[in-house]
Amino acid sequence: MADNTTSATAEELRGVLAAAGACGAWDWDIAGDTLIVDPRFAELYGLDPQDAGRALPTATFYQAIHAEDRARIRIAVAGLLAGAELFSKEFRVIAPNGAILWMHGRGQGHRDEDDNAVRFTGLLIDVTDRKRTEERLRVAQSAGGVGTFEYQDGFATVSVSSEFCRLLGFHPTDRLPVRTINAVLLDGESPLIPPDGETPASLDGEFRIHRSDDGAERWIARRGEVIQDGEAGGYRLLGVVYDVTEAKRQEARLRDLNDTLEQRVAEEIVERLRTEEALRQSQKMEAVGQLTGGIAHDFNNLLTIVSGSVEMASRRLDRSSDPRVARALDNAMRGVERAAALTQRLLAFSRRQPLDPRAVDAPRLLAGMSDLLTRTITESIAIAIDAPDDVWTIEADPHQLENAILNLGVNARDAMPRGGQLTISARNRTIAAGEATESHVPPGDYVAIAVADSGIGMAPETITKVFDPFFTTKEVGKGTGLGLSMVYGFVKQSGGAVDIVSTVDAGTTVTLLLARSSAAVEAIDDRQSDDEPQGSSSETLLVVEDDDDVRAYTVATLRELGYRVIEAHDGASALRLLERQEQGVQLLVTDVVMPAMSGSELAQAARALVPDLLVLYTSGYPRDAITRDGRLSPGVDLLAKPFTFKGLAIKVRELLDRA
Amino acid sequence: MIPDQIALDELERDALTEIVNIGVSRAASSLRKMVGDQVLLSVPSIEVVNQRRAARLISEREIVDLVAVRQDFSGPFSGRALLIFPETNSLELVRAVTGGELSAEEVVEMEHEALAETGNVILNGCLATMANMLKRSLTMTLPEVLRGTGATLFEIDQNSESEGLVLFLYIDFAVRQRDIRGYIAMLMDIPSLATLKELLDEFILRVVGEDG
């Protein structure tokens, strides 16, 4: 009976142990040097079932342990046998079927009254599944660079994994104080482990840290769950952290690239808009120029006829007998002059006017203008001309330069309706090779002629438009909008530059840069006699003009002056006349733009017949026929249409006298 | 960082851990007799690090000031042993070993004495067991109580070129259901650690034999 009871109890105990996951128990008698194991231990180790409960050699304990773990376990057991109290080791056991099982051996040392170790008892628990799970978790953490943490609200420490410590730069441990963890965060970052009592809504977040070991600044992402633990009201934070620095850096690089891309595109667009604007501007100038040129030719012919006729009528009229007719003719003449000036300006800003540049002494030119300026500009404006004598000689068409300065003076006057100060100055300026100038002129010596007023000034938007033809700030009817664009056209055509500086309510300064000339100053022909120089019948002139009315007027004028005049309506008949003339022709007066044969072609052919023939061109708009780069070719004389009786008389006389 | 001749391999570390385990078990048994209550001590891990790292390691894990009991030892290997607690744990320990009958003032008064005695029991247990297990003998000085941070306890001299090395042992205490954690640190120079390593190898050979 007793045996039955014992075996029943052993059977029950076995069931309990099995339920607890135990795979065997042992009792090591240290003094007796024997080992007693239970049936499950015997079964696990592949012992004879009969050996369970019997005294076995203690070496049995090691026989099923994996060779790689055996030394470790021998050392641990040696510790127990020498008096250590706790045994807690994990090791592999090879089962009879060859399977490798992970066991957790937990044991206790027992001592007698004299503190001598006497017994060592313990249990083996199969932890293979847990070990595999742990392994998977470990690999997942180390391979994925993911650290885990678990924090129970109210505690001062956090359970962490080795990978967690590695990511934050700590020595590997399984527990770290909350303060230690939160100390790695950069100033201003929210804590990685949220403070007690504040149940976080979510664990998702990104944090910047200084890694504890090397101080490197890293980005750490945190993900996980907030777990509410039943009635206790507390919560657990179960989460992971991982390093997202690289992703953050790439993101930043990408953003940078994106930003600069936008910037680069924007710059490119601005540049393109600028180019388009410049192109549009030049196209506009080209279109206006062509239009102007087309009109100017015919228009000036018409003006020549009108002015010639009016002049003729004035000369034949006895002014005292009918003063009203005289006034009407004077008005008509002024109208012609204004019309001619308008055409001239149109040609100037489109840089199509023929320039006759000479060496000019700017101070003398400015001094000569003072009368004209004083007459043009109201008394409420003080005029100062500041041009020292040492200012270099410049190369420019003096009449056009006077025109430009007068234009600027008139603009300045209009900018100072309540009076002010107008200063016209001339200064030497040398532009060095490396010097970047907004004017974009080549390096060299220049004279800067500045016209400065103390008037109302202009806004920057206005300044960008002032050189546009027909742009005007003046009221309708008060300005043509051609003044500044004419100045610009003239200066550009002369190889210089215009600079404009203006401040609203403080005034405007327009500076003309004109190149220095090495030539000596020529005396400007200022013959101001009231009488037209006369010709004689010994002087024969050939007038070639395709416009019959202009030709009739020119011929009549020259005959009236006393010259002998023959005429032709085109180049071919002109050449025939030259061949037939037994009495030599001294001067050829020819239109430039004619059908079939142009004025310059005619002049060339005529000179072949009569080598010392003088040539005077007349033109309302010569195109490129007799100019090079907008300037008259040397030795070419041009009389612009519409010309006056006196103008023609002086020019013809001048040529004949020069020869 | 740690020279090869003194770097402990896994088996040597296990052996040293077990030897210290035997020592702290002895100490626990002595404490039990003093306290008349259950005292459990165990050493789950051991590391050999330099002084600077030891100071950092302990300050990473302990954010309060520390209390330490110090004893110097000499023999075939010499050095300094420290038993270190977070300061908040020291009064707990005093309360535990004095039986919890004392008033707060008395605990504070007794603290120095009690700490020195407890440290002496534990460090003596460890060092004597080490000497015994390694079949050598060591002599020890009287215990001294220190307070400070990791850096001050390990006396890091910024100017010193060579640093001593530290055997760093983490120990768990369980006294009267109170969980108290602490550290045993043994500061040794390189020759002493090299000797210790040799002695551990002898011990392993004795225990494991040809099976290892």
Rounded distance between C-alpha atoms, residue A605 and residue B62, angstroms: 113
Query: With 90 as the cut, is the pLDDT of residue A482 above it?
Result: no
Question: How much of chain B, in percent, has pLDDT values that exceed 90?
Answer: 7
* Contact status, residue B193 vs residue B46, Cβ threshold 8 Å: no
- What is the identity of the amino acid at A567? E
- What is the identity of the amino acid at A597? M
Mean pLDDT of chain B: 80
Arithmetic mean of pLDDT, A117-123:
91
Closest-CA residue of B relative to A179 is B63
Whether A84 sits inside 8 A of B21 (CB atoms) is: yes
What torsion do the CA atoms of A444, A449, A453, A458 make, to the nearest 10 degrees?
-40
What pLDDT, on a 0 to 100 scale, did the predictor assign at position B36? 67
For A97, B7, B130, B144, B195, the CA distances from B75, given in Å and listed in that order, are 51, 21, 12, 20, 10
Provide, as residue numbers in chain A, all residues whose Cβ is less than 8 Å from the Cβ of B60. 170-171, 173, 176, 180, 212
First to last CA, chain B: 29
What pLDDT, on a 0 to 100 scale, did the predictor assign at position A230? 64
The third-level CATH classification (topology) of the domain covering A355-515 is Heat Shock Protein 90 (3.30.565)
Q: What is the pLDDT of residues B73-92, one digit of tens each?
A: 999 988 889 888 888 777 77
Query: With 60 as the cut, is the pLDDT of residue A523 above it?
Result: no
Closest by Cα among A385, A399, A321, A319 to A357: A399
Q: What is the pLDDT of residues A361-398, one digit of tens each?
A: 888 888 888 888 888 788 888 889 998 888 898 988 88
- Report the alpha-carbon angle A633-A637-A639, nearest 5: 125
The conformation of residue A521, written as its DSSP 8-state character, comes to P
Interfacial residues of B (vs A; Cβ cutoff 8 Å): 10-11, 14-15, 18-19, 21-22, 25-26, 28-29, 40-42, 53, 56-57, 60-63, 129, 133, 204, 207-208, 211-212
First to last CA, chain A: 166
Rounded distance between C-alpha atoms, residue A299 and residue A310, angstroms: 16
What pLDDT, on a 0 to 100 scale, did the predictor assign at position A527? 47
Rounded distance between C-alpha atoms, residue B210 and residue B198, angstroms: 18
Mean pLDDT of chain A: 83
Residue count (chain B): 212
The DSSP bridge partners found for residue A544 are A568, A590
Residue A435 Ramachandran class (φ > 0 left, ψ -120 to 50 alpha, else beta): beta
Rounded distance between C-alpha atoms, residue B19 and residue B134, angstroms: 9
Rounded distance between C-alpha atoms, residue A626 and residue B48, angstroms: 102
**Beta-carbon neighbour count of residue A124 at 10 Å?**
26
The better pLDDT of the pair A6, B145 is held by B145
Rounded distance between C-alpha atoms, residue A346 and residue A294, angstroms: 11
Q: Which helix (H) or strand (E) holds A531?
A: none
A179 at B interface, C-beta within 8 A? yes
Rounded distance between C-alpha atoms, residue A427 and residue A441, angstroms: 17
The DSSP bridge partners found for residue A446 are A429, A515
Chain B interface, best mutation among A73, A171, A184, A193, by max B CB count within 10 A? A171
The first and second tokens of residue A517, run together, are 């000339």
CATH code for the structural domain at A540-658: 3.40.50.2300
Rounded distance between C-alpha atoms, residue A27 and residue A46, angstroms: 18
Chain B interface, best mutation among A75, A90, A115, A160, by max B CB count within 10 A? A75
What pLDDT, on a 0 to 100 scale, did the predictor assign at position A29? 92
What pLDDT, on a 0 to 100 scale, did the predictor assign at position A596? 82
Residue A629 Ramachandran class (φ > 0 left, ψ -120 to 50 alpha, else beta): left
Closest by Cα among A115, A91, A109 to A101: A91
CATH code for the structural domain at A140-243: 3.30.450.20
Query: CA of B79, closest CA in chain A: separation in Å?
Result: 24
Buried b (16+ CB within 10 A) or exposed e, A270-290: eeeeeeeeeeeeeeebeebbe
Rounded distance between C-alpha atoms, residue A388 and residue A362, angstroms: 9
Q: Is the ipTM of this complex over 0.85?
A: no
What pLDDT, on a 0 to 100 scale, did the predictor assign at position A239? 92
Query: CA of A123, closest CA in chain B: separation in Å?
Result: 19
* Contact status, residue A418 vs residue A380, Cβ threshold 8 Å: yes
Q: What is the pLDDT of residues A589-638, one digit of tens each?
A: 998 888 888 888 888 888 888 888 888 988 877 665 566 566 666 667 88
Of A84, A111, A179, the CB nearest to B63: A179
For chain B, the structural domain boundaries read: 10-211
Contacts for A68 with CB less than 8 Å, ≥ 6 apart: A92
Query: CA of A177, closest CA in chain B: separation in Å?
Result: 6
Give the 3-state DSSP-derived string for A541-603, with helices as H, strands as E and coil as C.
Answer: EEEECCCHHHHHHHHHHHHHCCCEEEEECCHHHHHHHHHHCCCCCCEEEEECCCCCCCHHHHH
Contacts for B170 with CB less than 8 Å, ≥ 6 apart: B43, B44, B45, B46, B181, B183
A174 at B interface, C-beta within 8 A? no
- What is the identity of the amino acid at A300? N
Provide, as residue numbers in chain B, all residues whose Cβ is less than 8 Å from the Cβ of A84. 18, 21-22, 25
Chain A interface, best mutation among B41, B207, B211, by max A CB count within 10 A? B207
Query: CA of B80, closest CA in chain A: separation in Å?
Result: 23
Arithmetic mean of pLDDT, B61-82:
87
Query: With 80 as the cut, is the pLDDT of residue B45 above it?
Result: no
Residue A565 dihedral angles phi and psi, to the nearest 5° = -125, 130
Rounded distance between C-alpha atoms, residue A635 and residue A625, angstroms: 14
Residue A97 dihedral angles phi and psi, to the nearest 5° = -80, 5
What pLDDT, on a 0 to 100 scale, did the predictor assign at position B212? 44
Same fold across A2-126 and A140-243: yes
Range name among A50-54, A175-179, A447-451 with the lowest pLDDT average:
A175-179
Rounded distance between C-alpha atoms, residue A638 and residue A354, angstroms: 9
Residue count (chain A): 659
Q: What is the pLDDT of residues A135-182, one digit of tens each?
A: 898 898 888 889 999 988 877 778 899 999 999 998 888 888 888 888
Provide, as residue numbers in chain B, all residues whose Cβ is less than 8 Å from the Cβ of A179. 63
Architecture per CATH, A2-126: 2-Layer Sandwich (3.30)
Query: CA of B53, closest CA in chain A: separation in Å?
Result: 9
For chain A, the structural domain boundaries read: 2-126, 140-243, 355-515, 540-658
Whether B63 sits inside 8 A of A71 (CB atoms) is: no
**Beta-carbon neighbour count of residue A380 at 10 Å?**
11
Query: CA of B21, closest CA in chain A: separation in Å?
Result: 6
- What is the identity of the amino acid at A118? V
A111 at B interface, C-beta within 8 A? yes
A63 at B interface, C-beta within 8 A? no
Whether A79 sits inside 8 A of B18 (CB atoms) is: yes
Query: CA of A179, closest CA in chain B: separation in Å?
Result: 7
The conformation of residue B94, written as its DSSP 8-state character, comes to H
A79 at B interface, C-beta within 8 A? yes
Of A72, A85, A180, the CB nearest to B25: A85
Whether B21 sits inside 8 A of A176 (CB atoms) is: no
Buried b (16+ CB within 10 A) or exposed e, B90-121: bbbbbbbbbeeeeeeeebeebbeebbbbbbbb
3-class SS of residue B128? helix
CA A220 to chain centre: 37
Query: CA of A63, closest CA in chain B: separation in Å?
Result: 11
CA B50 to chain centre: 16
Helices B10-35, B87-97: crossing angle, 10 deg rounding? 50
Q: Residue A169 burial (CB < 10 Å; 0-12/13-18/19+)?
A: middle
A169 at B interface, C-beta within 8 A? no
What pLDDT, on a 0 to 100 scale, did the predictor assign at position A86? 83
Question: How much of chain B, in percent, has pLDDT values that exceed 70?
Answer: 85
The first and second tokens of residue A271, run together, are 């540049």
Question: How much of chain A, in percent, has pLDDT values that exceed 90?
Answer: 17
What pLDDT, on a 0 to 100 scale, did the predictor assign at position A624? 56
Rounded distance between C-alpha atoms, residue A20 and residue A37, angstroms: 17
Of B14, B25, B211, the CB nearest to A84: B25
Query: With 60 as the cut, is the pLDDT of residue A2 above it?
Result: no
Contacts for A478 with CB less than 8 Å, ≥ 6 apart: A414, A472
Q: What is the pLDDT of residues A559-568, one digit of tens each?
A: 988 999 999 9
Whether B28 sits inside 8 A of A85 (CB atoms) is: yes
* Contact status, residue A572 vs residue A596, Cβ threshold 8 Å: yes
Whether A71 sits inside 8 A of B211 (CB atoms) is: yes
A71 at B interface, C-beta within 8 A? yes
CATH classification of B10-211, choosing from 3.30.1490.190, 3.30.70.1560, 3.20.20.10, 3.40.1550.10? 3.40.1550.10
Provide, as residue numbers in chain B, all residues whose Cβ is less than 8 Å from the Cβ of A170. 60
Of A84, A171, A180, the CB nearest to B18: A84
Banded model confidence at residue B199, pLDDT cuts 50, 70, 90: very high
Whether A74 sits inside 8 A of B212 (CB atoms) is: yes
Whether B14 sits inside 8 A of A176 (CB atoms) is: no
